[in-house]
Amino acid sequence: MKRLLLTNALIVLVLLAIVISCQKPPKYDNTPNIEYNNVEIYSSLENGLKKDSLIIVTRFEDGDGDLGLDNEDLQVPPFNQEGNDQNYFLDILIKKNNVFQPLELPFTFNPRFFRLAPDGRVGPIEGDLRYSGVIIRESDRVLKPGDVLKFRISIRDRALNPSNTVETDEITVLK
């Protein structure tokens, strides 16, 4: 009797393991989709001046996994053509008179991120993109303590399909 119970329990465990291991991969569109997650703010003093470092976190999904560019991609068309060497697009918006408007800067924040499936596999991927390096210093004189910002973000895959566009929550800088 004990042996029968043990055998039945073992059969149930094996069947359960088979069912769990046969999960189908998620079905995502081949056009990337992003979702705003959060902004992490780290404030510090640098030579007696305030500095805010930001990390913007967006969630992504892509059906064929063709997100990111590596250095080899940048050597061939279409990525070696103007504007196609970037895949992360960031607009900074500043609140003026209770309305957000683009912040005019002498430079742009359109970096790129490296391949998220570097082994070349094709298939659905998901995860978080963490953009860091937006550093705001009190000495820059572009922003003042208490200015309120938002960021507008989109990405693009290697097939040049643009994602949807998301905006972050409001953040107050140099508090």
Which whole number is the average pLDDT over 15-43? 82
pLDDT grade, residue 34 (50/70/90)?
very high
Helix (H) or strand (E) holding 93: strand 88-96
Kindly tell me if the per-residue pLDDT of 145 is higher than 60: yes
Domains contained in the chain, CATH given: 27-172 (2.60.40)
Cβ(147)–Cβ(163) under 8 Å?
A: no
Q: Is the pTM of this model over 0.95?
A: no
Which whole number is the average pLDDT over 44-53? 85
Write the pLDDT tens digit of every residue in 83-95.
899 999 999 999 9
C-alpha span between 108 and 5 (Å, rounded) = 68
What is the per-residue pLDDT for 2? Answer: 61
Which whole number is the average pLDDT over 169-174? 92
Which whole number is the average pLDDT over 22-39? 90
Q: Which amino acid is at 112?
A: R
